[in-house]
Amino acid sequence: MTRRVLMVSPHFPPDSSAATHRVRLLLPHLPALGWEPTVLTVTPDSHVGVLEPALEALVPRGVRVERVRALPVELTRAAGIGDLGLRSWYALRSRAHALLTAERFDALFWTVYPTWPARSGPSLAHRAGAAFVLDLQDPWVGAWGDTVGPRGGRPDIRSRMSRALSVGAERDTVVGADGVTAVSAGTIDALAARVPEVRTTPTAEVPLVALAADVTWARDAAPLPPSLQFTSDHVHVLWVGTLLPAGTLVLRAIFDALAEAARRDARVRERVRVHFVGTSNESRTNAPSRALPLAHDAGIGALVTEHAPRVGYREALQLLASADAVLLGGSTEAHYTPSRLYPALLGGAPMLAVYREGSHPVSVLRALPAEPPVFTVAFGAGGPDYTTREALVSAWRAFAALPVGSGGSRALQPVNDARTAPLAASAAAALVRVLDAAVARRAR
């Protein structure tokens, strides 16, 4: 018998934020695993950020999508409220209640971010006789207000108060959940330390695995703007995505190693160029640079360029497919799992990946075949050290030996999803195991 799940995701195509892909990437696998999904999200005009209408082509045909309108930000901003979750909370709750009352759903799946609307999940599901599964794309409670405050500085009173409220809201929601999923096991472990009840709740690591169809879709698009195209005179190494405050220390280590490699090896100075795109996570054209000032501090500003405004998903995939090599840098937090990891794997380029030991990316990357080369450099809880630096220096020197223009020739080849297809299927199966266990738990 097919079971039905109502999947609530405020971010969903045509929204272009990273959170829009969580439910979308799980949808294609669910029917074959015995679950019929219905998506509840917000209307396109509810979003403040840039929309990417082409993303709607990636939503599987036939999937039912219900939309509600959030309060306009023009009305709520006067009260200091811009958060999509707060603006859409009442509308999402009302529509979810109506759907759960009028129809039979076996489970309610609610993904965060944003976090606050998920507070309604346990009561909505349980009144309707459905199981409630909470999904964490990022920790509900992280470094904010603890070790990190505004603009990456020290926590202030406001950030500490925000954290205190989030701790209470997280606990109430998690205790009411019949199952919990997250993009990394580290996120679940950290959650269990705050909410011990999680240890007796069905849980699973469900990573965000991009699909080969996404890369094919991106390659069929119009060419990238000239400002984002790579020339054929250097080995172009690409970082695409936000530089988080907790990732600054990691990037400093990467740059210090690049500077050392350039001192030791003239080929690094002459051939390697590193490009950062979308580091600010802001769409405005004057978004502040985050990587280039660190490059200048390390004395390698001439080897680095930065396009700070965030780009759409399609452009990000095009860039990853056309770069000669890809740079992935993590956070000092063990739970961190970047959304760009799997699209980078699909691009098929050589990679340099720098993450904390024990994190999800390290376990995935170390299991990959030898070709194309992936230099996985892991550091301990204390951050990058001398050993990390020497491994990074070796990777930079290896990149300097790559053929110029290899990214352009690779982009003409069929997309090889041998690395990611099994992982995508495994992630969906893990979710279904939690959904099934949550339904059984609710029945008991």
Q: Do 155 and 230 share a domain, yes or no?
A: no
Q: Do 230 and 359 share a domain, yes or no?
A: yes
Q: Do 122 and 201 share a domain, yes or no?
A: yes
Asked if 126 contacts 107 with a C-beta cutoff of 8 angstroms, the reply is: no
Q: Do 246 and 231 share a domain, yes or no?
A: yes
The owner of tokens 């990573």 is 207
- Cα 18 to Cα 185, 427, 429, distances in angstroms: 19, 18, 22
In this structure, what DSSP letter does residue 224 have?
P
Domain extent at residue 86: 3-209+422-443
HEC string for 383-440: ECCHHHHHHHHHHHHHHHCCCCCHHHHHCCCCCCCCCCHHHHHHHHHHHHHHHHHHHH
Asked if 66 contacts 41 with a C-beta cutoff of 8 angstroms, the reply is: yes
- Amino acid code (one letter) for 16: S
Q: Do 145 and 294 share a domain, yes or no?
A: no
436 contacts: CB under 8 Å, gap ≥ 6: 3
Q: Do 410 and 429 share a domain, yes or no?
A: no
Asked if 309 contacts 282 with a C-beta cutoff of 8 angstroms, the reply is: yes
Query: Which segments of 133-273 does DSSP mark as H helices, in order?
Result: 157-175, 185-194, 212-219, 248-264, 266-271
366 contacts: CB under 8 Å, gap ≥ 6: 376
- Provide the phi-psi class of 151: left if phi over 0, else alpha when psi is between -120 and 50, else beta: left
Nearest to 240 by CA among 277, 203, 194: 277
Q: Do 401 and 438 share a domain, yes or no?
A: no
11 contacts: CB under 8 Å, gap ≥ 6: 17, 19, 20, 22, 41, 84, 113
Q: Do 285 and 396 share a domain, yes or no?
A: yes
Q: Do 21 and 140 share a domain, yes or no?
A: yes
In this structure, what DSSP letter does residue 305 have?
E
Q: Do 22 and 35 share a domain, yes or no?
A: yes
Q: Do 281 and 407 share a domain, yes or no?
A: yes
Give the C-alpha separation, 14 to 28, whole Å: 17
Give the C-alpha separation, 118 to 108, whole Å: 10
- What the block records as the tokens of 97 is 């209640």
Nearest to 169 by CA among 109, 94, 96, 112: 112
Asked if 178 contacts 202 with a C-beta cutoff of 8 angstroms, the reply is: yes
Query: Which stretches of the chain drop beneath a pLDDT of 50?
Result: none
Query: Strand 131-136's sheet: what is its strand order?
Result: 64-68, 35-42, 3-8, 107-112, 131-136, 179-182, 203-205
Asked if 272 contacts 300 with a C-beta cutoff of 8 angstroms, the reply is: no
Q: What is the pLDDT of residue 430?
A: 97
Rg (CA), the chain: 22
User: What are the backbone angles phi and psi of residue 284, rounded to the nearest 5°?
Assistant: -65, 145
- Amino acid code (one letter) for 290: R
The domain spanning residue 254 has which CATH number?
A: 3.40.50.2000
Kindly report the pTM of this predicted structure.
0.89
158 contacts: CB under 8 Å, gap ≥ 6: 150
Q: What is the pLDDT of residue 290?
A: 94
Give the C-alpha separation, 324 to 274, whole Å: 10
Question: What residues pair up with 306 in beta bridges, in sequence order?
Answer: 276
User: What are the backbone angles phi and psi of residue 115, rounded to the nearest 5°?
Assistant: -90, -45
Nearest to 147 by CA among 313, 349, 331: 331
DSSP-derived secondary structure for 103-123: S--SEEEEEESS-GGGGGHHH
Q: Do 339 and 193 share a domain, yes or no?
A: no
Q: How many domains does the chain have?
A: 2
In the chain, what are the helix, strand and coil shares in percent, each to the nearest 5? 50, 15, 35
- What is the total residue count of the chain? 444
- Cα 218 to Cα 21, 141, 277, distances in angstroms: 15, 34, 17
- Amino acid code (one letter) for 41: T
Q: What is the pLDDT of residue 409?
A: 63
Query: Which segments of 45-184 does DSSP mark as H helices, in order?
Result: 73-76, 84-102, 121-127, 157-175
